[in-house]
Amino acid sequence: MSAADRIEAEEPRKRGAALWQGLAFAVGLAALVLRAPHLAEALGFLSLVILVHEAGHFAVARWQGMRVETFSLGFGPPLLRVELGGTGYQVAPLLLGGYMKPAGENPESDEQILHAPPDEFMGRPWWSRALVAAAGPVANFLFPVAALFLVYAVAGRPDPQGPPQVESVFAGSGALAAGIKPGDLVVRVDGEQVNGIARLAGLVDRQSRLRAGRPITVSLLRAGRPLTLKVRTRLNPKAGKYLMGVTVVESPPPFTTTVAAAEVLTPAEKAGFRPGDVVLEVDGKPLKDGYAFSALFAASAHDPVPVLVRRGGAERTLYAPKRQPVPPEFDPSLVGLLGLDFRPADPAEAARRRPLAPGEALRWAFSDTVGMGLAVAVSVKALVLGEVGARESLGGPVAILRMASQQAKRGWDDLVRMMCGISMMLGLMNLLPIPLLDGFSLLFCLVEGARGRPLRLKTQVALQNVGLALIGGLFALTFVNDLLRWAGR
């Protein structure tokens, strides 16, 4: 039998095997949806993030005239594959991943690189390939803006906390000079909605820095009537931030002292906090409102901080590390250092959403995305500089699925926000100049542009092998780390 005859005889067997694999995958997926719907929902959302990344590469590659041989959601042998327009679109069993394979991406010789057809990856100019490499991370950065815009415009933005109420006004302050009085409700700062004390402090400091000495615009409610004042802020050297000169209180307290969740891969989880724990004291000081936890925690003189909780009918003390990677411009008393969430005092009020007009929805989506990006950048910087240990901060597929499943149980809104954060993380990590990542492909292209010719294939392969070893080792480390953490070690 000739080689051609053997290949032809093998085709029916391959199609049959693929059909059985596809059926097994469908049955397994259906079982997952029925037995663990939150896990299935999380897996679907995470697959969407990967799809966005690869779609960015794909769209720009086609725009640049490259042939794309395969667009795959997942790794491994294809369970389902459809040929359209010269591209094979497929789904593979390992869904936490995916790839886009342009024609000629892996040449076998320097001669193939030099004489690659113009519709292949290596046949395009260096700047064209650089655009393709950058498109995936850019898509990940744009995705949160688009996703949050749709959510805010269609379903609304969460608005669980009312405006903070002015308790007192300091003598000689900008607030006193502007006419702010105790009892005023602070509704907006420079047109941006204020929901809670943390939001007010952050907005006052941020807008003061942006305005460089000019007064900020503060919208108030006084006895139910709207009032707008111009307030000059002053830099407090001790606090390191701009202040109006007021103390404020929440109205009403938004949270109970019962833990709703200890986020995955956070110090709270490591310290042993569990949903349902009732926090009684933070370093000996009673906790009356979950919203005040961060302030009490940051004010503690001990590290780790002793936190007294009631679990079931017994009381126990948990010890949580105080030192956390927080950017210097943040006030540590106003950020969630541990990763603890408390149950709202009024669940209906906490679920309240305020629909936004398209322009406002876009502004909020962009602002929230920038905030996520800053948090992600701080986390990556802390990891790269060794400010936090890899054992405590790195998470692999198991941890990601645990986090996503946890958020799915709490509601679609939390899952969407987590998905946006993961999208930002994926985009930023892919820009690192590590072999096999998009950042290294970008570096290759820039080096080629500066040299006027590509690197030798031997050099490229050697660097890719180094990258493969690094990525493989990192994957193994995170996977083992996930399992040990899950087992409570």
214 in a domain, yes or no? yes
Query: Contact at 8 Å (CB) between 98 and 414?
Result: no
The radius of gyration computed from the CA coordinates of the chain, to the nearest angstrom, equals 27
Q: pLDDT truncated to tens, each residue of the chain (489 aa)? A: 454 455 454 555 555 555 555 555 555 545 544 555 556 666 777 778 888 999 999 999 999 999 999 998 887 788 788 898 889 998 887 776 788 889 887 777 777 777 888 888 888 898 999 999 999 999 999 999 999 998 888 888 776 566 788 888 888 889 999 999 887 888 888 888 787 777 788 888 888 888 877 899 998 888 667 889 999 998 888 778 888 988 887 665 557 888 877 776 677 777 888 888 999 998 888 887 776 787 678 778 888 889 999 998 899 999 988 765 444 444 444 444 567 778 777 665 555 676 788 888 898 888 888 877 776 776 667 666 665 555 555 555 555 656 656 555 665 666 777 788 888 888 888 888 877 788 888 888 888 888 888 777 777 777 777 767 776 666 666 666 656 655 554
138 in a domain, yes or no? no
211 in a domain, yes or no? yes
Q: For residue 54, which of 73, 41, 68, 69 has the smallest C-alpha distance?
A: 73
Q: For residue 151, which of 375, 353, 347 has the smallest C-alpha distance?
A: 353
132 in a domain, yes or no? no
- Does residue 244 sit in the same domain as residue 268? no
Domain boundary among 338, 368, 384: 338
Range of the domain at 197: 165-249
Find residue 101's DSSP bridge partners.
Answer: 70
Cis geometry, peptide bond prior to residue 93 (ω within 30 degrees of 0): no
324 in a domain, yes or no? yes
Four-point Cα dihedral 394, 400, 406, 409, nearest 10 = 160
What CA–CA distance (Å, rounded) separates 367 from 152?
12
Residue that is written with structure tokens 């700062």 in the block: 189
Q: For residue 54, which of 114, 139, 131 has the smallest C-alpha distance?
A: 139
Q: CATH no. for residue 301?
A: 2.30.42.10
Burial (Cβ within 10 Å: 0-12, 13-18, ≥19) of residue 224? exposed
Q: What is the predicted pLDDT for the residue at 389?
A: 55
140 in a domain, yes or no? no
* Helical ranges in 74-196 per DSSP H: 110-114, 126-154, 174-178
Q: What is the predicted pLDDT for the residue at 60?
A: 94
Cis geometry, peptide bond prior to residue 160 (ω within 30 degrees of 0): no
Q: For residue 426, which of 51, 75, 70 has the smallest C-alpha distance?
A: 51
Domain boundary among 234, 249, 264: 249
279 in a domain, yes or no? yes
List own/partner pairs for 242-245 with CB under 8 A and 24 or more apart: 242/204, 242/205, 242/208, 242/209, 243/173, 243/204, 243/205, 244/173, 244/174, 244/175, 244/180, 244/204, 244/218, 245/169, 245/170, 245/172, 245/173, 245/174, 245/175, 245/176
Q: What is the predicted pLDDT for the residue at 333?
A: 42
Domain count, the chain: 2
- Does residue 320 sit in the same domain as residue 263? yes
286 in a domain, yes or no? yes
Q: What is the predicted pLDDT for the residue at 134?
A: 93
pTM confidence score: 0.62
- Does residue 241 sit in the same domain as residue 280? no
Domain boundary among 249, 268, 292: 249
Q: What is the predicted pLDDT for the residue at 329?
A: 40
- Does residue 238 sit in the same domain as residue 182? yes
- Does residue 173 sit in the same domain as residue 220? yes
